[in-house]
Chain A
């Protein structure tokens, strides 16, 4: 599965690295949906081979422990884990 873009309010470039089986990733995704912002997500566990390796490599640049969910804002700021208050603050 490739990256999926969700339409909504433009709050900058928002990229979510997630796992399809992860409940905290699901909560993060739902929060973004509820806030109505535009973002792109990728279920890394649904990728295979080279695609998965490339995604993990990209993720490790932002979050060396390669954990999920990882949110990347404007190729700059990162929030690791479902940190509701921090995410809301970043999207104000």
Chain B
């Protein structure tokens, strides 16, 4: 069994996540004890698997298979929109933060097929781009450059979480 992370390690990660969230326009769950437990889970998973897999999901232990559930997960933003919180409720929407919406259990979105959105490329115009466009699968950040950034400047997701958008 993995050793329990220390209080100081939890404090440090908590502060970092909080600062990153504020900077990126996100909110951590204001219930400090609850959030501390989740941060502890993230540290436990980092020690166990080598990456901070969602504490409320079962990681395979294979980074490539778990990319979508590395916190912040690919499902955070749609869950914030639909339920006011991400799956584990580390992140909450402004409505929940302000007490205008109550937190409930968030259903698992992973593995469910997403309905295909309307083809947004079919607008008739053929655009020639000088650079490929990369999209962060976590927060939707777009950038036009040869390679995606090492770390997403908005949500801090790693390079491998980017997909070629155009």
Contact = CB atoms under 8 A, between A and B. Distances in A.
Given A81-B105, A83-B105, A25 B112 contact: no
Nearest to B33: A23
A24 B56 contact: yes
Nearest to B44: A21
Q: Give the bracket for the number of chain B residues in contact with chain A.
A: 20 to 34
B150 interface: no
Q: Give the bracket for the number of chain A residues in contact with chain B.
A: 20 to 34
A80 B40 CA distance: 23
Contacts of A22: 41, 55-57, 88
Interface of A: 1, 19-26, 44-46, 56, 65-68, 80-83
Interface of B: 1, 34, 37-38, 40-41, 44-45, 55-59, 88-89, 105-108, 110-112
12 contacts: A21-B45, A22-B55, A23-B56, A24-B88, A24-B89, A45-B58, A56-B58, A65-B110, A65-B111, A66-B58, A68-B58, A83-B105
